[in-house]
């Protein structure tokens, strides 16, 4: 004989009634219609919203200004940034999570993902610059490879910085010298200034015939 489907107990309904009132209208209607989410599902939803709210809070102010979020949420984020204590931050994140229930999460997740991709790109560029600096300091052969990649480089200046940086003797715990830092700066700036093939094509004068 097939078993009858289980229904939410009175205790379960009582436990989640308070949470239902805070849910978005669509989910609240589901509860009214009898499609009650489990307690674990509600907890997971709250956790997800808190994590998204915390991620949104980490966005720079100029990116936050571009988001269409409720003024209460923006004020709560500003308050989180002013809060110093661990317990205070924990409570404020919980409050932000509750406010997130009234926001459309899709554009917020997109904004967070876009920012993280940009940060990852910046980090990769930093690591590449560090790699080239170390290669240039380790061997003169790296200079030829560098010039092939970045032919617009002032080779004389680069070679001078390489020699100066190699001469700097560092004691344990001592910071790197000025030449070392200038070499890294030159490498990084040159990597950022390299025009793409499309840029070079766009810069050509199509009206000029040889």
Contacts of 75 (CB under 8 A, 6+ apart): none
Tell me the residue length of the chain.
210
Can you read off the two tokens belonging to residue 204?
């050509």
| pLDDT tens per residue, range 41-74 | 777 877 888 888 888 888 888 888 888 888 999 9
Write 110-118 long-range contacts (CB < 8 A, 24+).
111/56, 111/59, 111/63, 111/66, 111/67, 112/52, 112/55, 112/56, 112/59, 115/59, 115/60, 115/63
H or E element at residue 68: none
Q: List the pLDDT tens digit at each of the 210 positions of the chain.
A: 544 444 444 444 443 444 445 555 555 555 555 556 677 777 787 788 888 888 888 888 888 888 888 899 999 999 988 988 999 988 998 898 889 888 888 888 888 888 777 777 777 778 888 899 999 998 888 999 899 888 989 999 999 999 888 887 655 455 678 888 899 889 988 887 754 333 444 444 444 444
Give, as one character, the DSSP assignment of residue 59. Answer: S
Task: State residue 64's pLDDT score.
Answer: 85
Residues 143/132, Cβ–Cβ less than 8 Å: no
């Amino acid at each position: 004989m097939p078993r009858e489907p289980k229904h939410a107990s009175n205790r379960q309904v009582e436990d989640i009634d308070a949470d239902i009132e805070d849910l978005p209208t669509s989910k609240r209607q589901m509860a009214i219609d009898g499609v009650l989410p489990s307690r674990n599902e509600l907890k997971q939803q709250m956790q997800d919203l808190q994590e998204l709210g915390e991620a949104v809070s980490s966005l720079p102010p100029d990116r936050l200004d571009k988001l269409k979020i409720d003024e209460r949420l923006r004020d709560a984020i500003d308050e989180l940034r002013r809060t110093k204590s661990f317990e205070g931050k924990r409570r404020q994140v919980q409050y932000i999570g509750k406010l997130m229930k009234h926001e459309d999460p899709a554009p917020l997740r997109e904004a967070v993902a876009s920012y993280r991709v940009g940060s990852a790109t910046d980090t990769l560029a930093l690591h590449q610059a560090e790699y080239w600096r170390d290669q240039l300091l380790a061997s003169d052969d790296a200079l030829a490879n560098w010039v092939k990649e970045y032919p617009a480089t002032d080779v004389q200046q680069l070679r001078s910085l390489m020699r100066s940086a190699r001469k700097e003797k560092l004691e344990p715990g001592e910071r790197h010298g000025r030449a070392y830092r200038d070499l890294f700066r030159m490498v990084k700036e040159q990597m950022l200034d390299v025009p793409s093939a499309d840029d070079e094509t766009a810069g050509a004068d199509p009206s000029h015939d040889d």
